[in-house]
């Protein structure tokens, strides 16, 4: 998605989108191309050949974030930027019913999926506090910035923009929850299918409860590689 969005911002740029599966949209601007690549393998791109590398939504897919970030750094031109954007799987609420209950479905959901992903060796904690800085490091960068967005789920705000985001995000969550949980809970944690359905239903019900005003955090870390003369 970003590949086609970034193109109007950077006229004349050559934009390459990569994914392990062929997921490109039906129409692609002429200066955008898609390559099927496994980001975990040795990169085939020349060293110091990109001005900007954006990574998004690889939570739960990567065995070594250190290696991924290292290869990203090597592929950047001096002075170029990395942008890494990931979301936390911990759904939160400021309601006392959630904050004071460590067994609330929001907590149980995150804990069991964190554990399953850890067992697979592909962390789901990459957007949580301290993880990106620990794994990217800040050696070799002149400018390091981080932005944490609170992303609402559902209609729970007086702000129309937040409600618009929340509306789409709720749809995204409702469509994704089962697929997201099924592999980890069944294949890694050994749960029965009926128990997974019950668990997913509890999560559906909770995120649809506007009184909880649920949200999660999305973290964006931006780093600029040193120029040659820095």
Ligand X SMILES: C[S@@+](CC[C@H](N)C(=O)[O-])C[C@H]1O[C@@H](n2cnc3c(N)ncnc32)[C@H](O)[C@@H]1O
Helices (H), the chain: 2-6, 65-75, 96-99, 105-120, 131-136, 160-183, 193-207
Closer by beta carbon to ligand X, 56 or else 186: 56
- Smallest separation (angstroms) from ligand X to the CB of 28: 15
Min dist. Cβ of residue 58 to ligand X (A): 5
**CA triple 17-71-121, angle to 5 deg:** 90
Side-chain half-sphere CA neighbours of 131 within 13 A: 18
Q: What is the DSSP letter of 17?
A: E
Q: In this complex, which beta carbon is closest to ligand X, that of residue 71 or of residue 156?
A: 71
Q: In a 3-state reduction of DSSP, which class is residue 31?
A: coil
Minimal distance in Å, beta carbon 55 to ligand X? 8
What is the spatial distance between Cα 213 and Cα 106, in angstroms, rounded to a whole number? 12
d(CA 98, CA 209): 12
| Residues at the contact surface with ligand X, assessed by CB under 6 A | 1, 19-21, 23, 38-40, 56-58, 61
Residue nearest to ligand X (CB): 57
Q: Nearer Cβ to ligand X, position 1 or 97?
A: 1
Q: In the bound complex, what is the minimum distance in angstroms from residue 134's beta carbon to ligand X?
A: 20
Q: How far is the CB of 161 from ligand X (least distance, A)?
A: 20
Dig out the tokens for 75 from the structure.
């592929």
Between 25 and 133, whose beta carbon lies closer to ligand X? 25
Query: How far apart are the C-alpha atoms of 74 and 12, rounded to whole Å?
Result: 23
DSSP 92: B
Question: Which residue, 82 or 212, is less far from ligand X as judged by CB?
Answer: 82
Q: Cβ of residue 2: shortest distance to ligand X, in angstroms?
A: 7
**Would you say 136 or 212 has its CB closer to ligand X?**
136
């Amino acid at each position: 998605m970003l590949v086609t969005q970034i193109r109007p911002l950077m006229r004349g740029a050559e934009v390459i989108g990569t994914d392990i599966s062929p997921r490109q949209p039906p129409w692609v601007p002429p200066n955008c191309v898609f390559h099927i690549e496994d980001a975990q393998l040795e990169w085939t791109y020349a060293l110091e050949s990109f001005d900007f590398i954006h990574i998004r939504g690889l939570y739960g897919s990567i065995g070594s974030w250190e290696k991924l970030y290292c290869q990203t750094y090597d592929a950047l031109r001096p002075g170029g930027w990395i942008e890494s954007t990931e979301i936390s799987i911990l759904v939160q609420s400021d309601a006392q019913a959630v904050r004071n209950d460590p067994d609330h479905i929001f907590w149980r959901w995150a804990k069991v999926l964190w554990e399953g992903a850890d067992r697979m060796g592909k962390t789901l904690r990459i957007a949580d506090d301290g993880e990106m800085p620990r794994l990217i490091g800040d050696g070799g960068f002149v400018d390091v910035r981080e932005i944490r967005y609170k992303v609402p789920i559902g209609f729970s705000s007086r702000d129309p923009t937040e409600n618009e985001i929340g509306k789409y995000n709720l749809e995204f969550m409702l469509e994704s929850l089962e697929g997201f949980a099924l592999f980890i809970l069944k294949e890694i944690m050994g749960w029965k299918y009926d128990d997974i359905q019950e668990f997913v239903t509890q999560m559906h019900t909770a995120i649809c409860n506007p009184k909880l005003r649920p949200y999660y955090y999305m973290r964006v870390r931006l780093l600029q590689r040193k120029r040659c003369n820095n």
